[in-house]
C-alpha cells in the first residue's frame, strides 16, 4: 500500500540552469535515478522562450511526481539569458539553482563540435574542425589578432558575468556549483554534493557508477544495485574533440583566467580546474 502514491504535476523545486556543454544531461540523468526525484526529460525553455505561455503551461510540461519527490527541470540556456533570473525569482524566490561548470576552454570546444554536427560540417574530420575553430576564434583589430569576445561560444564560458546576473536576485545559498570535469572523473563526489544540497538521502554512491565499453572514458550509472542494468548517455554525448594547437589553448586559458578567478572568489570556492 505504501507504494501507492498519488501522482500529479507541479512547478519545479529546483532548476538546472547550465552551463551548456558542461555535463548537464549527465548530471540530470544521474540524479533522476534517485527515488525522491522526478525530472523533466526534455529541456523546457520556459523562462527564455515560452514565457508568454504562462505558469500553467510550464506546470503542464513538468513530469508527474508524488509528495516524496522533488521536481527538477534543466534548460542550460537559462544561465546565459539575462531575462531569466528575474522571471525565476518572480515564480519562486526560494527555488534551488543547480549550476554545473566545466573548464571554459573545453566547454568552448565541446560547443563548437556540437555546432559542427548540427550544421553537418566536417563531422568526420577533426583536423578540419581544428582549423575551422582557430579561424573562427580570432578577429583582427589594428593588425592584431585577438580572441573574438563576442562569439557566443566564447561568451557562454564567461561564467562570472552570467552568475552575477543571477546574484542580482538570488543569494549564494540558493546555488550549488557542481564541477563538470570532476563529474567525469569522480561522479560520486559531485552527486554527493548535489544530494546534500537538495536535502536528499545520499543513496547514489560510488558503487552506482561504472565504466563500460559502451561509453569509453565516461561513467554510466547502475540503475539498481540488485541487477546489472546500466544507463549510459547517448552517442551525442562524449564526442571526439579536435586537437587544438597548444599555443591557441594557452591563449584561451589566459583569456579566461581573470574571469575564472573572479568567479571562484564570488562563489567562495576553490577553483574547479587549474586557472
Ligand X SMILES: Nc1ncnc2c1ncn2[C@@H]1O[C@H](COP(=O)(O)OS(=O)(=O)O)[C@@H](OP(=O)(O)O)[C@H]1O
Which of residues 141 and 216 has its CB atom nearest to ligand X in the complex? Answer: 216
Would you call 107 helix, strand, or coil by DSSP?
Answer: helix
CB 191 → ligand X: shortest distance, Å? 11
CB 171 → ligand X: shortest distance, Å? 25
First to last CA, the chain: 53
| 239 annotated binding-site participant | yes
CB 237 → ligand X: shortest distance, Å? 4
- Which spans of this chain sit near ligand X (rule: CB under 6 A)? 20-26, 76, 110, 113, 183-184, 215, 218-219, 233, 237-239
Which of residues 22 and 130 has its CB atom nearest to ligand X in the complex? Answer: 22
CB 7 → ligand X: shortest distance, Å? 27
| 110 annotated binding-site participant | yes
Dist. CA 272–CA 116, nearest whole Å: 28
As beta bridge partners, residue 209 has: 221
21 catalytic? Reply is: yes
Which of residues 20 and 96 has its CB atom nearest to ligand X in the complex? Answer: 20
Q: Which of 259, 249, 238 is nearest to 114 (CA)?
A: 238
Dist. CA 265–CA 114, nearest whole Å: 31
| 25 annotated binding-site participant | yes
Dist. CA 137–CA 248, nearest whole Å: 9
| 102 annotated binding-site participant | yes
CB 141 → ligand X: shortest distance, Å? 30
| 157 annotated binding-site participant | no
With residue 176 as reference, give the H or E element that holds it.
strand 175-179
**In sequence order, what are the residues at sequence separation of 6 or more whose Cβ sits closer than 8 angstroms to the Cβ of residue 166?**
17, 79, 85, 97, 175
Active-site residue, from 9, 20, 21, 268: 21
| 201 annotated binding-site participant | no
Which of residues 68 and 115 has its CB atom nearest to ligand X in the complex? Answer: 115
Which of residues 79 and 93 has its CB atom nearest to ligand X in the complex? Answer: 79
**In sequence order, what are the residues at sequence separation of 6 or more whose Cβ sits closer than 8 angstroms to the Cβ of residue 30?**
187, 191, 204, 221
**In sequence order, what are the residues at sequence separation of 6 or more whose Cβ sits closer than 8 angstroms to the Cβ of residue 26?**
183, 184, 187, 218, 219, 233, 237
Active site residues: 21
Q: Per the annotation, where are the binding residues for 3'-phosphoadenylyl sulfate?
A: 21-25, 102, 110, 237-241
Annotated binding-site members: 21-25, 102, 110, 237-241
Amino acid at each position: 500500500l505504501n507504494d501507492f502514491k498519488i501522482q500529479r504535476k507541479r512547478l519545479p523545486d529546483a532548476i538546472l540552469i547550465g552551463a551548456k556543454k558542461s555535463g548537464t544531461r549527465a548530471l540530470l540523468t544521474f540524479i533522476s535515478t534517485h527515488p525522491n526525484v522526478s525530472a523533466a526529460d526534455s529541456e523546457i525553455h520556459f523562462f527564455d522562450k515560452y514565457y508568454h505561455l504562462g505558469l500553467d503551461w510550464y506546470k503542464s510540461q513538468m513530469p508527474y511526481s508524488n509528495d516524496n519527490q522533488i521536481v527538477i527541470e534543466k534548460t542550460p540556456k537559462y544561465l546565459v539569458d539575462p531575462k531569466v533570473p528575474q522571471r525565476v525569482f518572480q515564480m519562486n524566490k526560494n527555488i534551488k539553482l543547480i549550476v554545473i561548470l566545466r573548464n571554459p576552454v573545453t566547454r568552448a570546444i565541446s560547443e563548437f563540435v556540437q555546432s559542427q554536427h548540427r550544421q553537418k560540417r566536417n563531422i568526420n574530420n577533426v583536423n578540419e574542425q581544428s582549423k575551422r575553430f582557430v579561424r573562427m576564434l580570432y578577429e583582427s583589430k589594428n593588425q592584431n589578432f585577438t580572441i573574438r569576445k563576442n562569439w557566443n561560444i566564447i561568451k557562454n564560458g564567461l561564467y562570472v558575468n552570467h552568475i552575477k546576473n543571477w546574484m542580482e536576485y538570488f543569494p549564494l545559498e540558493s546555488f550549488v556549483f557542481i564541477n563538470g570535469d570532476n563529474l567525469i572523473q569522480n561522479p560520486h563526489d559531485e552527486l554527493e554534493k548535489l544530494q546534500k544540497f537538495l536535502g536528499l538521502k545520499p543513496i547514489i554512491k560510488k558503487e552506482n557508477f561504472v565504466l563500460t565499453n559502451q561509453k569509453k572514458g565516461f561513467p554510466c550509472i547502475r540503475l539498481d544495485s540488485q541487477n546489472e542494468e546500466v544507463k549510459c548517455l547517448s552517442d551525442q554525448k562524449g564526442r571526439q574533440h579536435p586537437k587544438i594547437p597548444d599555443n591557441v589553448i594557452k591563449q584561451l586559458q589566459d583569456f579566461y583566467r581573470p574571469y575564472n578567478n573572479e568567479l571562484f572568489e564570488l562563489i567562495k570556492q576553490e577553483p574547479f580546474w587549474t586557472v
